[in-house]
Amino acid sequence: MANFLINFLGLMIFLFIFWKKLKEDYSGEIIFSSGFFILAGILLGHLISVWFLPNWFFWLEFAGVIIGLAASAFKFKVRVYEVLEAIVISLFPWIAIIFLVDSVNNSSAISFVAFLVCLGLIFLYYFFDLKYKGLSWYKSGRVGFSGLATLGIFFLIRSSVAIFLSAVLSFSGKAEVLVSGSLAFVTFLLIYNLARKE
């Protein structure tokens, strides 16, 4: 019951921030339908991990997010980078709550540090969101920088931590360094490509 309530709270926070971030550009129907596609992808990834690959639950749920984003872009013609931004800032509070509760329930210092990192990434996202248009090298000023930069730093942190703590619950063993490092590289490459667009 406690886990249900925690995830229900996280889900409501996700949907609220997701809606608030996109409400100026899309109808409520499109926003919430896209949100449910993403949540369905997360659920599907979670179920696959429970049944087949428990050590890969984070990556399967992440793949579910990407599938949900792709389905939304295909069905509703939403702009991918814009929705990705909303996803990033909407999911981190949910993840932070999960880490905080785990740190309290299991007296886990690692989970508490992860909670603080998530808070730091949330503040970093908003800092980027305020400042990115003033960056001299980011001449395009296109939406997407804040979400991609925050996501890239998140994966970079995961890759760095995995070098020393590959046994952390949400890590996929020794492969975590390579997988997270590769995703960090891809996100920074996408930022570079966005910066070059006219």
- CB half-sphere exposure, 31, CA atoms < 13 A: 18
Q: How confident is the model at residue 57 (pLDDT cuts 50, 70, 90)?
A: confident
Q: Is 107 exposed, middle or buried (0-12, 13-18, 19+ CB in 10 A)?
A: exposed
What does the pLDDT read at residue 125? 96
The Cα 142–Cα 138 span in angstroms is 8
The Cα 79–Cα 56 span in angstroms is 29
Q: What is the pLDDT of residues 159-193, one digit of tens each?
A: 888 777 655 545 566 677 888 889 999 999 999 98
Q: Is 156 exposed, middle or buried (0-12, 13-18, 19+ CB in 10 A)?
A: middle
Least Cα distance to 58 among 162, 144, 150 occurs for: 162
CA distance readout (Å), 57 to 46, 64, 129, 171, 175: 6, 10, 30, 9, 14
Q: What is the pLDDT of residues 134-165, one digit of tens each?
A: 887 787 778 889 999 999 999 999 888 877 76
Name the residue range of residue 166's domain: 2-196
CB 125 within 8 A of CB 92: yes
Among 72-76, 128-132, 192-196, the range of highest mean pLDDT: 72-76
Average pLDDT over residues 98-125: 91
- Rg (C-alpha) for the chain, rounded Å, is 17
The Cα 142–Cα 133 span in angstroms is 8
Q: At what angle do helices 57-76 and 80-105 cross, to 10 degrees?
A: 150
Least Cα distance to 7 among 100, 95, 110 occurs for: 95
| 75 token code pair | 């069905």
Q: Report the mean per-residue pLDDT for the chain.
A: 89
Tell me how many domains the chain contains.
1
